């Protein structure tokens, strides 16, 4: 019976996480904290359907004051038991079709995708676009240099946390959620639904161990996508850094 906190839960994949976690038996998931910068209609509906299981937490990950207030709320709600799992999915991805030399917002991208992603942590959504090994594969296909740079930094930051806290039993890893549609922002280019991606990610979270996952860059497993003809494959295992 574990407690979960999901950041950026107002829509898309992170809202999908909250819905799936809330639907699990109480013996598996005791509490879900859904954080966001505003209390949307979708979140209000979720809380109304699971009033004892889901709690909305107002939080802006780039504001220390906001994070502190959110922390106090979660601590009070848990009664000193401590949070078990943090799923962090905040991030932004602006396009720069003309190349990296046109990027003028790298600082703000790094703040959201790197600094905002490590407040406490177990699992963070990253992307294979942040892999330096796979960079040639995605160079022209996805002209998002600032996003790629920020995710590469996020990947390295996760490894540092994993090494520093390994002897305390923490599990730190990043995972690629795939190209997700519906409200996951990929539209017609999407491979997966929110339900497919969220289910695949939570399967990794539920089965994670220090030996198998700590400090790793994980891929999800989606049946039928193990040997895709396109550039994306979802065959479980690890992604090259």
Domains observed in the chain: 1-18+29-78 (no CATH), 91-241 (3.40.50.720)
Q: Which residues, 6+ apart, have CB-to-CB distance to 94 below 8 Å?
A: 105, 109, 144, 146, 147
The per-type count for the chain, helices as H runs and strands as E runs, is 8, 7
In tens digits, the chain (241 residues) has pLDDT values of: 788 989 889 988 899 999 999 999 999 999 999 999 999 999 999 999 999 999 999 988 778 788 888 888 988 898 878 888 888 875 443 433 444 334 344 344 334 443 444 333 366 777 788 788 888 877 777 777 888 888 888 888 888 888 988 887 788 899 988 888 876 566 677 889 999 999 999 999 999 888 899 999 999 999 988 887 666 889 998 988 8
Q: How far is CA 15 from the centre of its chain?
A: 11
Helix or strand or coil: residue 120? coil
Q: Residue 135 belongs to what H/E stretch? A: helix 135-138
**Quick one: DSSP state of residue 217?**
E
């Amino acid at each position: 019976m574990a407690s979960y906190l999901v950041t950026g839960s107002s829509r898309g994949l992170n809202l999908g996480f909250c819905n799936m976690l809330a639907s699990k038996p109480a013996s598996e998931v005791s509490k879900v904290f859904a954080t966001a910068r505003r209390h949307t209609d979708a979140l209000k509906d979720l809380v109304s359907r699971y009033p004892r299981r889901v709690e909305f937490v107002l939080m802006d990950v780039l504001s220390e004051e906001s994070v502190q207030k959110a922390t106090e709320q979660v601590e009070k709600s848990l009664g000193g038991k401590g949070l078990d799992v943090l799923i962090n999915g905040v991030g932004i991805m602006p396009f720069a079709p003309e190349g990296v030399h046109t990027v003028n917002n790298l600082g703000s991208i790094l703040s959201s995708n790197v600094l905002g992603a490590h407040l406490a942590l177990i699992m963070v959504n990253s992307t294979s676009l942040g892999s330096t090994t796979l960079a040639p594969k995605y160079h022209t296909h996805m002209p998002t240099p600032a996003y790629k740079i920020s995710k590469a930094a996020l990947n390295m930051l996760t490894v540092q946390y994993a090494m520093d806290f390994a002897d305390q039993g923490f599990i730190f890893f990043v995972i690629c959620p795939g190209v997700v549609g519906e409200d996951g922002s990929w539209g017609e280019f999407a491979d997966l639904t929110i339900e497919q991606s969220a289910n695949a990610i939570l399967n990794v979270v539920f089965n994670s161990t220090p030996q198998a996952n700590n400090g790793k860059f994980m891929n999800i497993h989606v049946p039928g996508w193990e040997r895709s003809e396109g550039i994306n494959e979802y065959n479980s295992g690890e992604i090259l850094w």
